[in-house]
Structure 1
Amino acid sequence: MMVEAVIFDFGGVLTTSPFEAFARFEQECGYPADVIRNTNAANHLENAWAKFERAEIDLDAFDRLFAEESLALGGAAVRGREVLPLLAGDLRPDMVEALMRIGEQFKTGCITNNLPANAIGSQAGRSLYVAEVMALFDHVIESAKIGLRKPDPRIYQMMTEALGVRPERCVYLDDLGVNLKPAREMGMTTIKVTNAAQAIAELETATGMKLS
Structure 2
Amino acid sequence: MSRRYKAVIFDIGGVVMRSPFIAIAEHERKLGLPVNYINCSITGRGSNGAWQKFERGEIELLPFYEAFGKDLSDTVNGNKWYKAYCSRKGIRCPTLPETLHIDGRELFGAMMREAQQYDPHIRKAILRLRDAGQHKIIALTNNFARVNVPVEELEFLGWGDGAIPTHLRELFDDFCDSSSMGMRKPEPEFYLMACKRNEVEPNEAIFLDDIGLRKARSSSHRPVSHSRHAKRNLKKTPPIRGPKALQDAWDSKLTVRQNYARLGLVVNLDPSAAGGVEKPLGAQQHQLAAEESQPIASTSSSTQASASKPSVPAGFGRIIRDASGKVLGVELNEEEENSGHTASIAHEDDVVMDDVESRIDQDARRQWATNFSKSTAPHFGQKNEELVHDLERISAPITGTTTLSIAVSGIGSRHASSGEVKYLTPLVKKHGSNVEAMAGDIKLNPEQRTVGQLRRALKKAGFLT
Fold equivalence (TM over 0.5): yes
Tell which deviates more after alignment, 62-71 or 122-131.
Answer: 122-131
Q: TM-score w.r.t. structure 1 length?
A: 0.81
Q: Which has the larger radius of gyration?
A: 2
Tell me: higher relative CO, structure 1 or 2? Use CA pairs within 8 A at least 6 residues apart: 1
The partner residue of 2:127 within 95, 100, 109 is 100
The answer (yes or no) to whether the contact 1:95–1:200 under 8 Å persists in 2 is no
Matched, 1:132 2:156: no
The answer (yes or no) to whether the contact 2:60–2:148 under 8 Å persists in 1 is no
Q: TM-score w.r.t. structure 2 length?
A: 0.39
Residue 109 of structure 2 aligns with which residue? 85
Q: How far off its partner does 1:125 sit?
A: 5.8
- Give the direction of change, closer, same or farther, for the CA distance of 1:150–1:128 in structure 2 (3 Å limit): closer
The partner residue of 2:19 within 17, 20, 25 is 17
Residue 458 of structure 2 aligns with which residue? none
Matched, 1:168 2:203: yes
2-structure distance, mates of 1:101, 1:117? 34
Tell which deviates more after alignment, 38-47 or 12-21.
Answer: 38-47
Q: How far off its partner does 1:128 sit?
A: 9.7
Residue 209 of structure 1 aligns with which residue? none
The partner residue of 2:143 within 109, 114, 122 is 114
Give the 5 Å matches for 1:132-151: 132-151=167-186
Which blocks of at least 5 consecutive residues in structure 1 are unaligned?
203-212
Matched, 1:192 2:229: no
Over residues 147-176 of structure 1, what are the superposed CA-to-partner deviations in whole Å (9 max), with x where a residue is unaligned? 211122222112111221111011001112
- Give the direction of change, closer, same or farther, for the CA distance of 1:14–1:65 in structure 2 (3 Å limit): same
Code of the aligned partner of 2:124: E
**DSSP-derived class of the 2:73 partner:** helix
Q: How far off its partner does 1:134 sit?
A: 1.6
Corresponding pairs, count: 199
- Give the direction of change, closer, same or farther, for the CA distance of 1:51–1:151 in structure 2 (3 Å limit): same
Residue 208 of structure 1 aligns with which residue? none
1-structure distance, mates of 2:68, 2:12? 23
The answer (yes or no) to whether the contact 1:35–1:70 under 8 Å persists in 2 is no
Code of the aligned partner of 1:150: K
Over residues 120-139 of structure 1, what are the superposed CA-to-partner deviations in whole Å (9 max), with x where a residue is unaligned? 62225675984212212111
The answer (yes or no) to whether the contact 2:159–2:165 under 8 Å persists in 1 is no
2-structure distance, mates of 1:99, 1:154? 25
The answer (yes or no) to whether the contact 2:23–2:107 under 8 Å persists in 1 is no
1-structure distance, mates of 2:102, 2:122? 32
1-structure distance, mates of 2:57, 2:199? 27
Code of the aligned partner of 1:133: L
Q: How far off its partner does 1:37 sit?
A: 1.5
Residue 205 of structure 1 aligns with which residue? none
2-structure distance, mates of 1:24, 1:142? 26
1-structure distance, mates of 2:225, 2:191? 16
2-structure distance, mates of 1:176, 1:38? 15
- Give the direction of change, closer, same or farther, for the CA distance of 1:201–1:95 in structure 2 (3 Å limit): farther
Matched, 1:65 2:94: no
Give the 5 Å matches for 1:13-52: 13-52=15-54
2-structure distance, mates of 1:153, 1:199? 29
1-structure distance, mates of 2:231, 2:66? 36
2-structure distance, mates of 1:162, 1:95? 24
- Runs of 4 or more above 6 Å deviation: 199-202
- Give the direction of change, closer, same or farther, for the CA distance of 1:82–1:63 in structure 2 (3 Å limit): same
Code of the aligned partner of 1:70: L
Over residues 70-118 of structure 1, what are the superposed CA-to-partner deviations in whole Å (9 max), with x where a residue is unaligned? 2221542312212211223221111011011122221111111012252
The partner residue of 2:190 within 137, 155, 161 is 155
**DSSP-derived class of the 2:47 partner:** coil
The partner residue of 2:216 within 163, 183, 199 is 183
- Give the direction of change, closer, same or farther, for the CA distance of 1:197–1:83 in structure 2 (3 Å limit): same
Tell which deviates more after alignment, 166-175 or 124-133.
Answer: 124-133
Tell which deviates more after alignment, 151-160 or 122-131.
Answer: 122-131
1-structure distance, mates of 2:33, 2:197? 43
2-structure distance, mates of 1:162, 1:109? 11
